[in-house]
Copies of this chain bind each other. A is one copy, B any other.
Amino acid sequence: MSVAKRLGWALLLAPLAACATVAPSPAPVADPPAGMQYLYGSGEGAAISAQAWNGLLTYVSAKIKSRPTDSVVLADGASLAAPRFVPCGDKPFAAVFDVDETVMLNIGYEYHDAKTGRGFDAAAWDAWEKTGEGAVGPVPGADRGVAALRGLGVTVIFNTNRSAANADATVRAIKAAGLGDAVHGRTLYLSGDDSMGSRKDGRRATIAAQYCVIAMGGDQLGDFSDLFNSAQPVSARRAATLQPPVAGLWGHGWFVMPNPVYGSGLKGGFDDIFPMDKRWAPPAGEAGR
């Protein structure tokens, strides 16, 4: 995770911030935000995560039976409109995953954030990376899923924007979430490992040079390609996910996990989210209702 990944927070808590001009301390929070109820508490959120992991295992089980020509990592210079992929050659199989809200739920941090109502705080997040291992859990299906992948002979590699400075603590948190062992530089890539900051394409290229990457998983589009984050405005970014051939990759090599709590999916004003030709108001007889 990076500060950039968290920017959606500010919008989610904007109504509370407006209240704060009246009350000097944050208003008591009655319930967690809707996105947290969905992601950390609901059966629907658990089911859609389990569905992604079930689909991933079915896909990978079939894929390793006949070695694919190409990895699912985009080759250098590829575009979303005309994707090309790193060749597999005879490299060993790997699957590459983001960590936060992809394989691991940051339950303790989100509790703190919701309860204090302060919004995202980079210093608190750094403390969480260092000390949160007791308050994490697996994304539903992820613990069983990564174990099954390893059982199939597929190396599980984590590519996260947690800080390289906190590598040891992140290894412990991954273990505590039931996701097994990770080794920095081998099966764990972090922000700071190269000069590209939170952009992950460089780390993906490093991994794909050593492995035939048959599946990737993430909760943010940047977990699949940095190219999505060049697509602007919000509507163009959405359209890029639904344009062939990229549209066919979801669930077939690229696996998305739900995250309505923070990140690049939580952006946009009314004009971004609701097209002008899809607006509605009750007819006159219903007005005022």
Give A contacts to B, CB under 8 Å.
Answer: 8, 11-12, 14-16, 18-19, 22, 27, 29-48, 50-52, 54-55, 58, 107-112, 114-115, 121, 123-124, 127-128, 131-132, 134-137, 140-141, 219-221, 228, 231, 234-235, 237-238, 240-242, 247-248, 250-252, 254-261, 263-270, 272-275, 277-283, 286, 289
Q: Are A41 and B268 in contact (CB-based, < 8 A)?
A: yes
Q: Are B43 and A228 in contact (CB-based, < 8 A)?
A: yes
25 contacts between A and B (CB under 8 A): A8-B37, A14-B30, A15-B15, A35-B38, A37-B272, A43-B240, A44-B241, A45-B260, A47-B241, A48-B250, A48-B257, A48-B258, A54-B252, A55-B251, A107-B274, A107-B275, A107-B278, A108-B278, A108-B280, A111-B274, A123-B289, A124-B282, A127-B283, A141-B247, A258-B260
Give Cα A32–Cα B169 distance, bound, in whole angstroms. Answer: 37
Q: Which residues of B contact A279 (CB under 8 A)?
A: 108, 111-112, 135
Give Cα A119–Cα B40 distance, bound, in whole angstroms. Answer: 23
Q: Which residues of B contact A135 (CB under 8 A)?
A: 277-280
Q: Are B275 and A51 in contact (CB-based, < 8 A)?
A: no
Which listed residue (B14, B50, B247) contacts A241, Cβ 8 A?
Answer: B50
Give Cα A221–Cα B43 distance, bound, in whole angstroms. Answer: 7
Q: Are A112 and B38 in contact (CB-based, < 8 A)?
A: no
Copies of this chain present: 2
Residue of B whose beta carbon sits closest to that of A17: B15
Q: Are B44 and A220 in contact (CB-based, < 8 A)?
A: yes
Which listed residue (B41, B108, B268) contacts A238, Cβ 8 A?
Answer: B41
Q: Which residues of B contact A238 (CB under 8 A)?
A: 41-43, 45-46
Q: Of A132, A240, A275, which is in contact with the most chain B CB atoms at under 10 Å from its CB?
A: A275
Which listed residue (B8, B50, B261, B275) contacts A242, Cβ 8 A?
Answer: B50
**Closest-CB distance, A262 to chain B (whole angstroms):** 9
Q: Are B128 and A250 in contact (CB-based, < 8 A)?
A: no
**Closest-CB distance, A136 to chain B (whole angstroms):** 8
Q: Are A280 and B128 in contact (CB-based, < 8 A)?
A: yes
Q: Are A15 and B19 in contact (CB-based, < 8 A)?
A: yes
In order of increasing CB-CB distance, the 6 nearest A-B pairs are A108-B280, A44-B265, A42-B265, A15-B15, A260-B260, A51-B250
Residue of B whose beta carbon sits closest to that of A107: B278
Q: Are B45 and A273 in contact (CB-based, < 8 A)?
A: no
Give Cα A267–Cα B41 distance, bound, in whole angstroms. Answer: 8
**Closest-CB distance, A37 to chain B (whole angstroms):** 5
Q: Which residues of B contact A235 (CB under 8 A)?
A: 41
Give Cα A283–Cα B18 distance, bound, in whole angstroms. Answer: 29
